[in-house]
Homo-oligomer: A and B are copies of this chain.
Amino acid sequence: MKQHPALAPYAAVHPYGLGDLLHEQARSRPAMPAVIDGDHTFTFAEFHERVNRLAGVLRAKGVKRGDRVLWLGQNSFRVIEALLASARVGAIFCPANWRWSVEEIAFALDDFDPTVVFWQEAEVGTNMRAARAGWSSPNGNWICHDGCPGEDEYEALMATADPAADFDPVETSTPLLAVYTAGFSGRPGAALLSHESLIIMAWQGMMAQAIDEESAYLVSGPMFHVGVMMGTLGTFLAGGRNVFVARVDPVELLESIQANRITHAFIAPPTIAQMRAANADGRYDVSSLFADPQMSDYRIPLVMPAQAPSMKRMGGYGQTEIGGLSSVLWMGGTGAGRSIPFIQFMIADDAGVEVAPGETGEIMARGPLVMCGYWNRPEENARRVVNGWHRTNDLGRRAPDGSLVFVGPKTTMIKTGIENVYPAEVENCLRTHEGVADVCVIGVPDPTWDQNIKAIIVRKPEAAHPPESFIAHCRERMASYKKPKIVEFADTLPRTAAGFVDRAAVDAAYGGGGYPKVG
């Protein structure tokens, strides 16, 4: 909409980026600690000055609006420093997975085409150098942050930069954070989240996890993961302190919790078990952790948010592309709950037309919380937007109370005759059968129908239902073409390290194949 001319002067007032948020924190809580990392502690005023210096370094290296900056290293306060410096100059910042292989780094260099690459010698140097040798971009600048003779060095560049440099305001809708996600077109793509999306995400994280200016967040999870970024930025927004550790080591985490009076953390359950073992004698004081008092006899309590009584009801639905968790139980309802501000959802068919309430379809999302698209993927971006909605590639439905229900990923699709069938939908139906303990639905090649639907079922210990019972169960509850034609029983299903059913392994063991291409 064209703005009314009388309102023109106010257009200059509205730009607000993550760099502005830092400026406000430096003014409104200058002496409070912002980041802690080993021997480094910087207040918001000091951090603001460092970010200004680094933004000046980026500018001097030729980084302009929309240019890319890549971080090849482990967790560090400098990841947030580089993110905020990128925010100041309007660049796009990507924290890479430091475990990437040479091939993966080489792919990201070509795909993301960064103007500046921040890197570290430890853990990453060898692979980085091999990938860098094959990269021929003329405008790549390399800045090392853990001391590398003969290379541009982070702190040396910072020392010569202007702490009071001035930068033009950045529009709130400008892309800022790039996160590589699993590829739907066969290769990973970098989802771009705007300043606005990140601030909304931070606000929801701060609210859901009851983070305030007294909080201390242990940044122990991977910073290329949107869930960790939500906690880190939520703490930054609240004026709390972020405490960084480069790697996940149970004893180092315990030491940091005690030393820094950590209140919030993002730690995976297997690590929690290791921490409990390491603290069996209670040698580390972890009482600062904001966790369920009922868990205190474990010494190291379960710090997963679901256990903290003052936090909101956790759980929901999200994906990196929609700014992380954005349908949440703390907004009410069942299943995956209801949407947070600045996003809306619709369940639609393949043409982007809303389905009837209760029917399963693809979850569509729109609003400023949704990503700006994938970097360098014009075709995928065009395919993923329909009628002004972002296609999540996930299946869902509305519960009778309107809550969003996540059904499963849409990407594995079975083609039988002219019909598309999503295994997740058939599996969800079979799980309502009293005899089912676990289930995986696959497609097996068929000369006439392209594929037939086959269900691999783990029956409950006492269950002895014949195959027909499961087929009939589905026929009564779904369109007939969705029912399994073949049922096979198994004692267990193969699973991935993350605990999900390993579909590729099930396919290999039970004759799956002949899937149509998606996307």
Contact = CB atoms under 8 A, between A and B. Distances in A.
Interface in A1-52: 1-10, 12-16, 20-21, 23-24, 27-31
Nearest to A64: B1
Interface stretch (A141-149, A369-377, A419-427): A369-377
B373 A28 contact: no
A378 to B, nearest CB: 4
Contacts of A7: 175, 192, 372-373, 381
A135 interface: no
A108 interface: no
B4 A388 contact: no
Question: Which interface class (under 10, 10 to 19, 20 to 34, 35 or more) fits A?
Answer: 35 or more
Nearest to A389: B13
A9 B368 contact: no
Interface stretch (A265-273, A288-296, A396-404, A448-456): A396-404
Nearest to A170: B1
A239 B338 contact: yes
Contact of A370 (B13, B23, B90, B382): B13
Contact of A28 (B171, B175, B382, B402): B402
A346 B31 contact: no
A256 interface: no
A368 B14 contact: yes
Interface string A190-201: 001000000100
Contacts of A23: 344
A21 B344 contact: yes
A401 to B, nearest CB: 7
B27 A346 contact: yes
Give the most central of A365, A366, A384: most B CB within 10 Å. A366
Contact of A65 (B1, B6, B388): B1
Nearest to A171: B1
A29 B333 contact: yes
Contacts of A339: 24, 28
Interface string A339-376: 10111111000000000010000000111101111111
A460 to B, nearest CB: 34
A173 B172 CA distance: 11
Interface-central residue, A1, A169, A174, A238, by most chain B CB under 10 Å: A1
B1 A174 contact: yes
Contacts of A16: 342-344, 366-368
B370 A10 contact: yes
Given A1-B174, A401-B31, A382 B338 contact: no
A385 interface: yes
Contacts of A13: 365-367, 370, 385, 388-390
B29 A373 contact: no
B213 A331 contact: yes
Interface in A222-248: 237-239
A12 B15 CA distance: 20
A367 B66 contact: no
28 contacts: A2-B66, A5-B378, A6-B374, A6-B376, A6-B378, A6-B381, A8-B381, A9-B378, A12-B388, A13-B367, A13-B385, A14-B368, A14-B370, A16-B342, A16-B344, A20-B344, A24-B339, A29-B332, A29-B401, A30-B402, A169-B366, A199-B341, A203-B203, A203-B341, A213-B331, A238-B331, A239-B331, A239-B332
Given A13-B388, A30-B402, 13 more contacts: A1-B90, A5-B378, A6-B375, A6-B381, A7-B175, A7-B381, A12-B388, A13-B370, A24-B343, A24-B345, A27-B346, A31-B402, A199-B341
**Closest 3 interchain pairs by CB?**
A24-B344, A10-B373, A16-B367
